[in-house]
């Protein structure tokens, strides 16, 4: 086992589920319970539970605060060259948008 334990060195955050997983891992790594973390962030236990489960409509400000509290700030990196499916694929944008509209 190395110095850094079993944490992913770099994790891409693309969905609320990613946020949830990251938050939960970080919390456990810090040896905190949901209640303690909630107290430090300034939210309810309920909030922590839901965000860890991938709640898509959580407040961004609270999420950022949570990550900062756990010493896991986000950052942007000009990661990938992007050659796969990304944007402007000439399809009906409106249709996609409509379908993507927060179902839950």
> Which residues contact its own copies (rule: CB under 8 A)?
4, 7-16, 19, 22, 39-42, 56-61, 63-65, 67-69, 71-79, 82, 86-88, 93-94, 96-98, 100-102
Q: Does 59 bind DNA (CB under 7 A)?
A: yes
Q: Which of 12, 44, 64, 93 binds DNA (CB under 7 A)?
A: 44
CB 20 within 8 A of CB 52: yes
Q: Which of 35, 64, 74, 93 binds DNA (CB under 7 A)?
A: 35
What does the angle CA 57 – CA 64 – CA 7 come to, to the nearest 5 degrees? 105
- Enclosing H/E stretch for 37: helix 34-41
């Amino acid at each position: 086992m190395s110095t850094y334990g079993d944490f992913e060195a770099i994790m891409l955050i693309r969905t609320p589920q990613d946020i949830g997983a990251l938050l939960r891992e970080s919390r456990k790594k810090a040896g905190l319970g949901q209640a303690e973390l909630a107290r430090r962030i300034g939210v309810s236990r309920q909030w922590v539970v839901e965000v860890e489960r991938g709640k898509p409509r959580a407040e961004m400000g609270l999420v950022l605060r949570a990550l900062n509290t756990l010493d896991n700030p986000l950052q942007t990196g000009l990661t990938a060259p992007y050659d796969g499916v990304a944007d402007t694929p000439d399809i009906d944008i409106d249709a996609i948008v409509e379908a993507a509209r927060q179902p839950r």
